[in-house]
Amino acid sequence: MKKRRKRRHLGLYTAGELNKIADALVHPFFDQEKSFVILDGAVHALIEKDLSESMGKFIRFNLGQLLKATGRKRSVRKASASRRSKEVKHDAQTAK
């Protein structure tokens, strides 16, 4: 016999409905600002009321994406810094 899941209602909406609403509101902003990924994880943790499970899901589904994004930002910063230093050297040489 199958185990039945305990239904938990959080007011007007079920936890699944609230998660879908949160996803619809927050996910469109993932590409613009990576802090929305963290906000999404926090909102899901509040809805699900199980911190250990929510942290596991966040690590499984979102941490890799965040690490890749921060790595790209660092490489862009390094490239722009080296470009600026080349421009300064070039300006100094042309001024002589």
Q: What is the pLDDT of residues 72-93, one digit of tens each?
A: 655 445 555 555 565 656 556 6
Identify the segments of the chain with pLDDT beneath 50. 75-76
Q: Identify the pLDDT of residue 20.
A: 95
Mark out the alpha helices in the chain (DSSP H runs).
15-26, 35-48, 51-58, 64-95
